Amino acid sequence: MKTIIYYFTGTGNSLAAAKKIAGALGDCDIVPVASFADTPGPVASGANRVGLVCPVYFSGLPAMAASFAERLDLTAADYVFSVVTHGGGGGAAALRQLDGILREKAGKGLDAGFAVSMPGNYILMYASPAGEKRDQLLDAADTELDRIAGRIGQAERVNLPNSPVARIVRALMYPRFLSHVHENDRKFTVSEACTSCGTCAAVCPAGNIDIVGGRPVWNHRCELCCGCIHLCPAEAIQAGSRTEKRQRYRHPDLEIEDMENQREQRTPERAGAP
C-alpha cells in the first residue's frame, strides 16, 4: 500500500517522527507541507494511505498545517492518519481540530490519530530539556512511534483521544495565537554574533526571512516555529532577553540541512530509497 506523509517542522521533532514511521512502513514518500505554500488549489496525493505529522501549538495546529489540511484532496485515500508531536499536551485538541477540518473540506476525517510527547522547544516561554531528561523523552517517543507505525501499517482504526482540559485550553489560547502568529517575529533580533551564513532563511518553512546587508530581516508571515532561533549556528537570534540564556534545540537524529529548503517543490523523498 502506497503511503505519503506530509510534515511541518521547525526544529526537527515532527520530521524525525515522520521519517521513523515512513521507514517502518516502506513504500512511503515524505513531503514538506511548506512546499505547497506558494502553489494554490487542492493537493491530491494519489496515495492509499495519507498522513500529516506536525507539532502542537497552543493545543492546536500550526497555522500553515491547518491551511494545508483545508486543501487536501483525499478522494484516493483509503486510510487517513495523523501524528502530532508536543512538549506539554494539547495533542487531543489538535487532532480533533484536524479531523474537523478534513471532514468539512475533504468529506473524510481521520481514521487514526496519535499524540507523541517529545522535547518541548517553544523557547519564547521556556528552555528545552537537555541531557538525560531529553534523552529519556526521545527514547520514549521512539518506542511510541514504533508502536504507532505498527498500527498504521495494519490500517488500524483508532479513536481520537479526548481531553476536555485540552479543548478548554485551545478555546482560550489558540485564537489569540492565530491572531498574532504572523506578527510575532517583530520580537526577533539579531546580534553582532551573526556570521551572515543564511541558515535562518534556509530553514524557515514560511519563507519569512530575507538576508539584507548580511543580516536576517523578518517579513511578518511567521509561523512561530522558532527554527531560526534554535538552528542559528552562532545563536545570534533572540526574542528579547528571555531567550539569551536558554539552550537551543534540534532533534539529535537530524542535521540542519534536513530542515532547509522546505518550500522547494521537489520529488518526494522515498523512505529507504538509495
pLDDT at 147: 98
Q: At what angle do helices 131-153 and 13-25 cross, to 10 degrees?
A: 40
Question: Does residue 199 carry a pLDDT above 70?
Answer: yes
Query: Cα angle vertex 30, ends 27, 36, to 5°?
Result: 135
pLDDT at 165: 80
d(CA 5, CA 12): 15
The DSSP element (H or E) to which 65 belongs, if any, is helix 63-71
Phi first, then psi, for residue 230 (nearest 5°) are -70, -35
pTM of the model: 0.95
Report helix, strand or coil for 98.
helix
pLDDT band for position 1 (cuts 50, 70, 90): confident
CB-based burial label for 264 (10 Å; 0-12, 13-18, 19+): exposed
H-type alpha helices, 106-233: 131-153, 164-180, 199-203, 227-231
pLDDT at 139: 98
pLDDT digits (tens, 9 = 90+) for 79-127: 999 999 999 889 999 999 999 999 999 999 999 999 999 999 999 999 9
pLDDT at 274: 37
d(CA 213, CA 226): 22
What number is the average pLDDT over the span 138-145?
Answer: 98
- Cell 537570534 sits at which residue? 237
Q: Are 189 and 237 in contact (CB under 8 A)?
A: yes
User: Which one is the CATH code of 182-258: 3.30.565.10, 3.30.70.20, 3.30.390.10, 3.50.30.50?
Assistant: 3.30.70.20
Q: Locate the domains of the chain by residue range.
A: 3-167+261-270, 182-258
Question: Does residue 271 carry a pLDDT above 80?
Answer: no
Report helix, strand or coil for 181.
helix
What number is the average pLDDT over the span 218-246?
Answer: 96
pLDDT at 270: 67
pLDDT at 266: 62
Query: Considering the chain, what is the average pLDDT of its residues?
Result: 94
Q: Are 10 and 227 in contact (CB under 8 A)?
A: yes
> Cβ–Cβ contacts within 10 Å for residue 132, how many?
8
Q: What is the CA radius of gyration of the chain?
A: 18
pLDDT band for position 168 (cuts 50, 70, 90): confident
What number is the average pLDDT over the span 6-15?
Answer: 98
Residue 84 corresponds to which cell in the numbers above? 502530532
d(CA 213, CA 147): 49
Q: Which fold has domain 3-167+261-270?
A: Rossmann fold (3.40.50)
What number is the average pLDDT over the span 171-198?
Answer: 95
Q: Are 122 and 58 in contact (CB under 8 A)?
A: no
Report helix, strand or coil for 217.
strand
pLDDT at 273: 47
* One-letter identity of residue 162: N
What number is the average pLDDT over the span 185-212?
Answer: 97
Beta-bridge mates of residue 85 = 55, 116
pLDDT at 120: 96
pLDDT digits (tens, 9 = 90+) for 57-87: 999 999 999 999 999 999 999 999 999 999 9
What number is the average pLDDT over the span 246-257?
Answer: 97
What number is the average pLDDT over the span 231-235?
Answer: 97
